[in-house]
Structure 1
Amino acid sequence: MPPFPELPAGFRCRPAETADATAIGPMAGLAVDEVEAALERPGLDASADSLVVLEPAGGIAAWAWVRGRRSQVDVGTAYRGLGLGTALVEWAEQRAIEIGSPTLAQTVEDEDLAGTAILRARGYEVLATNWELELRATGVPALAALPADVSIRPFGAEDAPAAYTVIQDAFDEWQPRRWPYDEWARMTIGRSSFAPELSQVAYADGELVGVAMCLALPDSQEGHVEQLAVRRDHRGKGLARTVLAHASFGFFQQGRPNLTLWTHSGTGALAMYERLGMSVRRSTTVFSRDL
């Protein structure tokens, strides 16, 4: 593990712990169980691959983690401009080099001009764009007609292996590495906000061909689709629209009329979601550099 970064007077750092998630989440604009999952994901050793920065009164001002070629750095709004972001990016790069990663990618909110400037100054280049999309309900969501050979039902524990395969096969078309099953499980079905009764699986001829993995995030009046995928040989049949409609209907029944999801520029799915009536709420940029 590289040495702790130099910080402004009064600030100190230490490895992050799962118990820090309740403070990191609000500071970073993340769900608490998302932070918990990130710190507990297989392949990440929180004692060596993460840091939290503590401000003089002991509260968490910033955090960072490194997992292979990816890292995340978040600085609380009140503590920007003090050099914390630069210090954590430098630490993340050194940790990535230490574990043998040839590149490092980081995601920054497009509204975070200071964070973008830090990465640009260090030679990072744009790798991809992420968009958060929203679907605002104007009434009870209409359930799209099913293809003749397809059935849809809520997710069950027995669906997990097949759902993993469909999702990873779809995501392999753009993501740099295939997640091992245990890592995927911790980051999806292992989250406390995972809602199996709202998640949807589509079957054709006894095989899972489409899936929407849904989260019922606490303190939110919206439904969230964490992952949506359709097996390649069943695309072009309106199955994504149908699975999404069933997820939206389930959330609506639970008092969450609006639906959100993220999509990545590598998927080429933005236009499809816009045709389904979704609109862009905000965006992030993935930056990467050679180490």
Structure 2
Amino acid sequence: MPNLAPQQLPAGYRNRSATTVDAQEIHRLVAACERELHGRVDTDPGAIVADLAMPGLDLAVDTLLVHDSAGELVARAWVKGGRRAEIDVHPGHRGRGLGRWLLDWAELRACQSGSERLAQTVSDEDRAAIDLLRSHGYGPFVTQWLLAIAMPTEPTVPEPPAGITVRPFRPGDERAAYRLTEDAFDEWQKRRKSYDEWARHTVERATFAPAASPAAFAGDHMVGAVLSVRTPGTDEGYIERVAVRHDHRNRGIAGTLLQYAYRSFHQQGQRTCTLWTHSETGALPFYERLGMTVRRSSTVYGKPLTGR
């Protein structure tokens, strides 16, 4: 089934579906967009590779790349699971109707897959994208925050709670960490990831940082974990997952693990550590008590597709 959009692509551009070999080119596009909007690049190539290999993402029909007449990639879109869209347009090609065209395509693709709603996350600094979504009937429903903590001196790690031991991530911890983090995120995520999908986004990434990924144990059972990645080209570390087993929460385990990760990154030369959280978790005050502050925010906008 070919990719179809409801209107003609703006003149001078051509489109095709993405393939796995496009990952580096897509990353360059995403990096250009982030650099223009935030003055820095946050997405690493491994995240793009993992997204393209997501189960349920049919590259032939769920993705679209737009190239200009010189063959340069200038825009991309994909629809994950029929429910979540990602769209980027190169700063040098905005204002030409590409974003509107890709949004129409994403809605059509979501309808074709049987979805009744489509959502997209947009930086709160991207006024043009917000105006486009609102003009198409989208409304906000979840806020996300990128938090950061400066580490000019080496952080101090508190003693773990009684009966808990903490150590860095080791080979062989993968399955336990998978079960722990997926159980913890079941409260908020729409579906449970398979092990292979989870691993591609965490422990199998080239930037995975095991030394800055501490795990907490009660006896032989993993009851908490922080999974971290390096941020290439910066002096920052990034925390991908924070999870504590339900029956061990409110004991100070998460705070201990985060301080352990901060210290490890500091010892490796990173002077800032970042992570994302969102309004549905209620975790923002916890991170702020640890000294993290909001660097920027994004909002998830959604729209019902019934009647389209």
TM bucket normalised to smaller: over 0.9
Instruction: Report Cα offsets for 1:113-142 as digits up to 9, x if no partner.
Output: 111111111111212011000010130111
User: For residues 137-156 of structure 1, what are the structure 2 equivalents within 5 Å?
Assistant: 137-156=151-170
Separation in structure 2 between the aligned mates of residue 196 and residue 102 of structure 1, nearest angstrom: 40
- 1:183 CA displacement: 1.8
Q: Kindly, what percent of the aligned residue pairs are identical?
A: 47
Q: Give the secondary-structure state (helix, strand or coil) at the position aligned to 1:21.
A: helix
Separation in structure 1 between the aligned mates of residue 167 and residue 192 of structure 2, nearest angstrom: 27
- 1:88 CA displacement: 0.9
1:271 alignment partner, one of 285, 289, 300: 285
Residue equivalent to 2:77? 64
Residue equivalent to 1:36? 49
Contact 1:107 1:284 in 2 (8 A): yes
Contact 2:89 2:99 in 1 (8 A): yes
- 1:217 CA displacement: 2.3
Unpaired segments ≥5 residues, structure 1: none
Residue equivalent to 1:230? 244
Number of matched residues?
291
User: For residues 129-278 of structure 1, what are the structure 2 equivalents within 5 Å?
Assistant: 129-278=143-292
Matched, 1:95 2:109: yes
Distance 1:58 1:2, change over 3 A: closer
Matched, 1:18 2:51: no
- 1:61 CA displacement: 0.8
Q: Does 134-143 or 159-168 show the bigger shift?
A: 159-168
Counterpart residue identity of residue 282, structure 2: G
Q: Give the secondary-structure state (helix, strand or coil) at the position aligned to 1:157.
A: coil
Matched, 1:285 2:299: yes
Residue equivalent to 1:76? 90
- 1:196 CA displacement: 2.1
Q: Give the secondary-structure state (helix, strand or coil) at the position aligned to 2:280.
A: helix
Separation in structure 2 between the aligned mates of residue 267 and residue 62 of structure 1, nearest angstrom: 32
Residue equivalent to 2:118? 104
Residue equivalent to 1:115? 129
- 1:23 CA displacement: 2.5
TM-score normalised according to structure 2 size = 0.90
Counterpart residue identity of residue 59, structure 1: E
Separation in structure 2 between the aligned mates of residue 46 and residue 154 of structure 1, nearest angstrom: 36
Contact 1:41 1:187 in 2 (8 A): no
Counterpart residue identity of residue 142, structure 1: T
Q: Give the secondary-structure state (helix, strand or coil) at the position aligned to 1:158.
A: coil
Contact 2:86 2:120 in 1 (8 A): yes
- 1:181 CA displacement: 2.3
Separation in structure 1 between the aligned mates of residue 8 and residue 288 of structure 2, nearest angstrom: 45
Q: Give the secondary-structure state (helix, strand or coil) at the position aligned to 2:137.
A: coil
Contact 1:201 1:208 in 2 (8 A): yes
Contact 2:140 2:302 in 1 (8 A): yes
Residue equivalent to 1:47? 60
Separation in structure 1 between the aligned mates of residue 48 and residue 280 of structure 2, nearest angstrom: 24
Counterpart residue identity of residue 16, structure 2: R
Q: Give the secondary-structure state (helix, strand or coil) at the position aligned to 1:227.
A: strand
Instruction: Report Cα offsets for 1:29-51 as digits up to 9, x if no partner.
Output: 33211111111112212222111
Which portions of structure 1, spanning 4 or more consecutive aligned residues, are displaced by more than 3 angstroms? none
Q: Does 162-171 or 136-145 show the bigger shift?
A: 162-171
Counterpart residue identity of residue 109, structure 1: S
- 1:276 CA displacement: 0.3
Separation in structure 2 between the aligned mates of residue 205 and residue 104 of structure 1, nearest angstrom: 44
TM-score normalised according to structure 1 size = 0.95
